[in-house]
Structure 1
Amino acid sequence: MSWTMIDHPGWDTTDTTPVRAMRTITGTWLITPSGTTLIDGTAAAAPTIDTYTPATLADAPLPAGLRAALDQLGPVHRARNADLWEALATAIIRQVIRASQARKMHHAFRAAAGDPAGDTALIPTPEQVLALTDEEFTALGMAFKRQPLRAAASTYLTHRTEWADLAPEVLVKAVQGIPRIGPWTAGAAVADHTGDFSLYPYADLAVRTWAALADPTTAWPSSELGFADVWREAAGPHLSTITVLTLAWGDHHAHAHASALTDPGPLSC
């Protein structure tokens, strides 16, 4: 058995089938759990679908309960975000609000201001964001996202060429030059863009919440610093894989128990 992560708020459900639109350097693609379809552009480079496998954690000193929970997932597939701008905008939308609220806001933003793409829509481009009025942001319930999104759009248009050549760990630092982009937002965006979840803020509330639910027998530290130390030690050389698989476990748990309280709550900046 394998599992496709649909944790990213760019995923929509149409007739119960999850679908997501993504820009690449060659065009626009639709992604579903069964594959990718080009809808505009050339077919030179489809989006990358990363696979994270619990079996690769065999030599990691994981707590037994967490290992058992992750083993149940089987291989996990996740679409790597080819569009750094979308990754940045998405991470900004996710700041300090619950995941469920971020998903609704992301959908409304795409539907109102982005370009249609099949049965879904793309995130507004930087140019489209800069063209939105204060009143349009307010009408979308996004007045408090207006300034960071505008700052990110302007800075991205200025630096996107040089950013494209940066190593991921350098890119995380570079994008923190954008006003209102802190370590959480930068790490989440670059992890989304590169597929390397060792860059993700792995001690954030989401990872702590899902780890505790997946393995309630382990006394996980409640503080970010304490949890980060334990998490790195448990991961060994597999920090990216253990982090993304734990988020995948949470994604699976949330969809399997949609009527329960499964939202980890607001995140940081």
Structure 2
Amino acid sequence: MFKTRYFQTIDPATLWFCLRVALLIAALVLPHSARATSEVYLLYRQWQPYSWPQDVPSAREVSRSQRGLGWRRQSASGGWGVDYDYQPLRLRTGDPAHNGHLHRLTVEGQWQHRLYRLEARAGVAGTSNMFKYQTFHRDVVNGRVAVFRALGQGSPLGLGIGGDHRFGSFRWLPRVRWQHTGISGHWLVDLPVMLRWQSTGDRWQFRIARKGDRWATLDQARAVESALYLREWRAELSYRVSSGEGSGPAMVLGIGASVDTRVRYRDLQAGTLDLRLGDALVGSIRLGW
């Protein structure tokens, strides 16, 4: 039996005010360097349907896709970005305490100062009925942070610590960051969450990354407070078809695989489920201006 708790509600006006303040601060502290570049982008990503992980006669495949848009600004000393994405995750079996429509709006930044590097992201993430009916609980506020210190001036190696939901519930993990640029391209290793290679000229990119986050959820009756955790390992090879220097947008196509995809959520009948959806192919297209 589930114990229904009273919602620890957040006033919607206060929530959106905090987001506007964050965006204003971002605009004020952005580096005004002549070398700074900015971009607006659109993203679409589609996963191959997952087979239902349990032997249930009425089970249907789990479909998943992602639509995203955002703005990024980058300079030599760091960068800022505002990102929104919508992921329909359709679990058509059982009685999930969520509607499968996952929305996320975040503000993120990276700063480099001498030997120190800071990466941070904050925002809101929840199901569509939370925003439609403006019924929020504390799990809707989300974020991640990582701090690194280089071993020396000009050293490619840095040690640090980071906290996020990439491996499930929020946890702190030690991080090792190494980067190198040579004739083969640019390498970035951020253990244990990412390995990335970019070719000279940024035409090709290969990335293996740990993806994971938390979305606050409500059931259909908006009476059960809960959260959904989605995480995976994703390997992707992308190719920049056009750079956007002409009349059209920059276009990047990607193909890859989602490995060991897991989802944890509350089912109103079965309790908390932690399911391995399995492996799937994934393709993406990104347009930038």
- Pairwise same-fold verdict (TM > 0.5): no
Alignment TM-score, normalising by the size of structure 1: 0.31
Which protein has the bigger helix share?
A: 1
User: Highest CA radius of gyration, 1 or 2?
Assistant: 2
The answer to which structure, 1 or 2, has the higher relative contact order (CA under 8 A, 6+ apart) is 1
Which structure has more strand as a fraction of its residues? 2
TM-score normalised by L of structure 2:
0.29
